[in-house]
Amino acid sequence: MKGYRPKLHWHAVCWELPHQGCMKCNTNGASRENPRESIYSLCVKNHDGDLVYAEASMIGIRTNMEAETKAILRALRYCKSNNINNVRIETNSLVVAKMIRHEWQIPWNQKRFKI
């Protein structure tokens, strides 16, 4: 390992307002270890950036991927029950985002989750 220098990659991330008439939902799920006590959170903002709804909850012993997925599922359920149809959901989980876009294989039974 002598002389090893890891390559660092970075890019700036900036939250942007949704377009007029749209909403944006940001989600997050976290676990101290995998699995361990976990929490999810979400917030919905309108096109002015005003907070419309926020939610967070402890979900017991779970993995971080389960927590991330729970956050997105709760966001979708909130939007559906409140007739919010024009919403962009943003997650900080590359793994979950790629699974949603069918770029990576989902490691559990999808039929369990109903929106």
Query: Domain with 32 in it: what CATH number?
Result: 3.30.420.10
Q: Which of 21, 67, 64, 65 is nearest to 42 (CA)?
A: 67
Six-digit token string for 54: 């926020």
Number of domains in the chain: 1
Contact 37, 31 (CB under 8 A): yes
- Structural domain including 92 reads 23-100
Give domain status of residue 110, yes or no.
Answer: no
Amino acid at 22: C
- pTM of this structure: 0.80
Give domain status of residue 83, yes or no.
Answer: yes
pLDDT, tens digit, 9 for 90 and up, residues 33-56: 889 999 999 999 999 999 999 999
Give domain status of residue 35, yes or no.
Answer: yes
Question: What pLDDT score does 110 carry?
Answer: 59
How many whole angstroms separate alpha carbon 8 and alpha carbon 31?
25
